């Protein structure tokens, strides 16, 4: 087994669906399809999607293809699937799931294409794969799918896929994004087998501190099985068997054959796990959540001044989401994301934030995936000194990385005292100063504001401790 003893694992269990599944079943049963709804399917009144639309074909999707046009997302339904989709629609299943946040909202559009007689307009959502989720998110998404399967089975439908790559987290709540995975029937064994192969094995890897857990999750469903050798696969089967012993050993074969239930899953994975505190897990543990610090208020005021129309903002190295929470409370930004490479901190953020998306991300090392997180504005507070002095990145590479995460604005702090902390002597390289930082900042961004947001008194002398730079990409 490949172990890393200091890796922390999840501390939280929010459950799966955010709405009671029995309530959803009753909503579907009460749904009334009217004859006027037939007009939505009238092919004669459809207009062709312009040729400038971008087809994102999926050879594996039996329902249709994803299409992008003018920043909006559409799903074209194949001719032989029209009647199937119509029956699904008539029962109100997908509408009710969408209205409850379980799937993206959608509407039948006025468009068609040469190969899609029917085109849906789909709510555009940010899709962040499991490699950036925490232990508790992997667990919660499994529960979410098992509850969704129970709803679908009630109406003689099931999922053809159970892997987590068809889900994402929006405002820290799971959402299933693949309309094409819903099929007729009640056989859920295939879906549950994939939950076992991905979610459950990943949970076991986390619990045993396997350093390759995120590599395993990052491979994607089509290449997952080859990432484990036969011996490793047997090891995880053994780990599951040992874990099941704690509750009921008869459950082991049920998991292996895909016959397990949501109740079985909850029995085996009922406990929440925590490990030793990590370096940054308690960084903001003692901060007053009722009063925003003066420094943070100054940054938020700049965000409101320069990014009033921003629809998304990401707080890089945001620890437990303390600052992101204040942005949520004081701005109208619709989508706020906080990230950190410390999984303990991210688990804390899941517990302490509301309506904020949280993910595990080492943004300097994962900049090749920056497109997943790109936002209208980014914040990088109290982190540049660590990147430059502890991790020894060149200042050019640091700014180049930051630029990849933003569509427009950056809010970046420079720490003139370097890695200094109270009680220590100030030790900084001779080149490390505001002029050096500012000259390099200008190579990547236009400076639109600058302010000292925090000062400290050291031995009777006042020093600038945090200098905020507000920039706009050239």
Long-range contacts of 99-104, Cβ-Cβ distance < 8 Å, separation of 24 or more = 99/27, 100/17, 100/18, 100/19, 100/24, 100/27, 101/18, 101/19, 101/170, 101/173, 101/175, 102/17, 102/19, 102/24, 102/144, 102/148, 102/175, 102/176, 103/175, 103/176, 103/177, 103/179, 104/175, 104/177
Residue for token pair 């049920």: 254
Coil, helix or strand for 195?
A: helix
pLDDT of residue 274 exceeding 70, the answer is no
pLDDT of residue 313 exceeding 90, the answer is yes
The DSSP result for 208-274, as a single string, is TTBTTHHHHHHT-GGGSGGGS-HHHHHHHHHHHHHHHHTT-TTHHHHHHHT---HHHHHHHT-S---
CA gap 21, 24 in Å, rounded: 5
Q: Are 464 and 438 in contact (CB under 8 A)?
A: no
Q: What is the pLDDT of residue 210?
A: 78
Average pLDDT over residues 15-24: 81
Helix 294-306 and helix 322-330, axial crossing angle in degrees, nearest 10? 50
CA gap 95, 16 in Å, rounded: 19
Could you tell me which residues come within 8 angstroms of residue 282 by beta carbon, excluding any fewer than 6 positions away? none
Per residue in 354-396, pLDDT (tens digit) is 899 999 999 999 999 999 999 999 999 999 999 999 999 999 9
Average pLDDT over residues 16-20: 75
Average pLDDT over residues 187-193: 93
Q: Of 48, 41, 43, which Cα lies nearest the Cα of 114? A: 48
Q: What is the pLDDT of residue 338?
A: 97
């Amino acid at each position: 087994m490949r172990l890393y003893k200091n890796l922390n694992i999840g501390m939280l269990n929010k459950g799966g669906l955010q709405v009671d599944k029995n309530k959803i079943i009753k909503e579907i049963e009460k749904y009334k399809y009217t004859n006027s709804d037939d007009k939505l399917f009238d092919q004669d009144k459809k207009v062709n999607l312009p040729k400038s639309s971008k087809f994102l074909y999926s050879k594996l999707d039996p329902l249709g293809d994803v299409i992008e046009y003018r920043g909006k997302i559409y799903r074209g339904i194949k001719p032989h699937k029209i009647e199937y989709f119509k029956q699904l629609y008539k029962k109100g299943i997908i509408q009710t799931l969408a209205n409850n946040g379980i799937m993206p909202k959608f509407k039948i559009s006025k468009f068609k294409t040469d190969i899609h007689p029917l085109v849906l307009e789909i709510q555009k959502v940010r899709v962040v794969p499991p490699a950036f989720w925490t232990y508790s998110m992997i667990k919660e998404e499994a529960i979410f799918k098992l509850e969704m399967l129970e709803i679908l089975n009630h109406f003689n439908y099931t999922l053809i896929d159970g892997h987590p790559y068809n889900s994402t987290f929006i405002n820290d709540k799971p959402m299933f994004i693949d309309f094409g995975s819903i099929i007729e029937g009640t056989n859920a064994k295939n879906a549950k087998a994939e939950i076992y192969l991905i979610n459950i094995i990943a949970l076991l890897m986390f619990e045993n501190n396997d350093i390759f857990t995120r590599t395993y999750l990052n491979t994607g469903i089509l290449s997952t099985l080859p990432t484990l050798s036969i011996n490793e696969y047997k090891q995880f089967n053994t780990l599951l068997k040992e874990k099941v012993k704690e509750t009921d050993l008869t459950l082991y074969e049920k998991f292996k054959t895909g016959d397990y239930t949501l109740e079985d899953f909850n029995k085996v994975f009922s406990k929440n796990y925590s490990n030793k505190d990590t370096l940054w897990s308690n960084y903001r543990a003692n901060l007053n959540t009722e009063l925003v610090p003066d420094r943070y208020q100054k940054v938020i005021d700049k965000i409101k001044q320069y990014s009033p129309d921003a629809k998304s903002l990401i707080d890089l190295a945001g620890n437990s989401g303390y600052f992101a929470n204040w942005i949520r409370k004081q701005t109208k930004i619709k989508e706020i994301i906080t990230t950190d490479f410390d999984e303990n901190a991210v688990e804390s953020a899941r517990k302490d934030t509301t309506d904020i998306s949280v993910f595990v991300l080492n943004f300097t090392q994962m900049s090749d995936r920056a497109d997943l997180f790109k936002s209208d504005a980014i914040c990088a507070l109290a982190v540049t000194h660590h990147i430059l002095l502890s991790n020894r990145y060149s200042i050019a590479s640091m700014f180049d990385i930051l630029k990849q995460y933003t569509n427009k604005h950056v809010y970046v702090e420079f720490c003139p005292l370097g890695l200094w902390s109270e009680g220590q002597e100030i030790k900084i390289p001779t080149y490390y100063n505001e002029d050096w930082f500012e000259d390099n900042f200008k190579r990547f961004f236009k400076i639109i504001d600058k302010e000292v947001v925090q000062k400290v008194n050291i031995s009777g002398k006042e020093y600038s401790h945090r200098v905020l730079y507000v920039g706009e990409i050239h």
